Amino acid sequence: MSLDYGQRHRRELTAAALLAERYKVPQQVVEIRGWARGYLTGSALTDSLVPVPKEAYDEASMRTTVVPNRNAVLLNLAAAVASAQGLEWVAYAAHSGDHFIYADCRPLFVSTTQALWCAAELEVRLLAPFLDHSKAEIVVIGCGLGVPFNLTWSCYLGGDRPCGGCGSCIERRKAFEAAGVEDPYCGGP
Ligand SMILES: [Zn+2]
């Protein structure tokens, strides 16, 4: 399930489609772009007036990429769909490097979301296997699983190719370097 919320990097939806095709699973795109354009303002990811950080993240630049409560919106939509379709799990790839700025990536958020679903009498469970892992550790795990990293997307600018210079591209490069793995990051098959 992918959320089209008017993100500048809509290219990630194409990456998700390529991955879904690779693993022969359906991709559901939930489209709230029209609504989000008018209301999810103030973030570099959704607001054309707020520039994407073009250097290594510091606290102030990382904060411009916060879309308040975005992941709660996405996860609760996913839980509703999973419940309606009789599915047992919703998987969520929040990681430890996001905890500092992104409240909706922290362990408290994950456990509270699970508690909310229980209160709503959903049978759905929230799986967040990378909650205590760094990006570099995730790269190592992904290599072991044969993840086609060339199909994945991280850049916040959303061009045809990764820009290499935004905060997200820089974080990705550092993670692969720390893992000792070459990144086939080219944005396509
Ligand atoms: Zn970039």
Please report, in tens digits, the pLDDT of each residue of the chain (189 residues total). Answer: 998 988 877 889 999 999 999 999 999 998 988 777 766 676 666 666 666 667 666 666 666 666 678 889 889 999 999 999 999 999 999 998 766 677 888 899 999 999 999 999 999 999 999 999 999 999 999 999 999 999 999 998 878 889 888 888 988 999 999 999 998 876 444
pLDDT value at residue 75: 94
Q: How far is the CA of 165 from the centre of ligand 1 (A)?
A: 5
Question: pTM for the whole thing?
Answer: 0.81
pLDDT value at residue 45: 61
Q: How far is the CA of 186 from the centre of ligand 1 (A)?
A: 11
CA distance 182 to 176: 6
pLDDT value at residue 32: 84
Q: How far is the CA of 15 from the centre of ligand 1 (A)?
A: 14
Q: How far is the CA of 50 from the centre of ligand 1 (A)?
A: 15
pLDDT value at residue 77: 92
pLDDT value at residue 189: 46
Q: How far is the CA of 172 from the centre of ligand 1 (A)?
A: 9
pLDDT value at residue 17: 96
For ligand 1, a single-atom ion, which residues have Cβ within 5 Å? 155, 157, 163, 166, 169
Q: How far is the CA of 86 from the centre of ligand 1 (A)?
A: 37
pLDDT value at residue 14: 93
pLDDT value at residue 186: 62
Q: How far is the CA of 185 from the centre of ligand 1 (A)?
A: 11
Q: How far is the CA of 96 from the centre of ligand 1 (A)?
A: 20
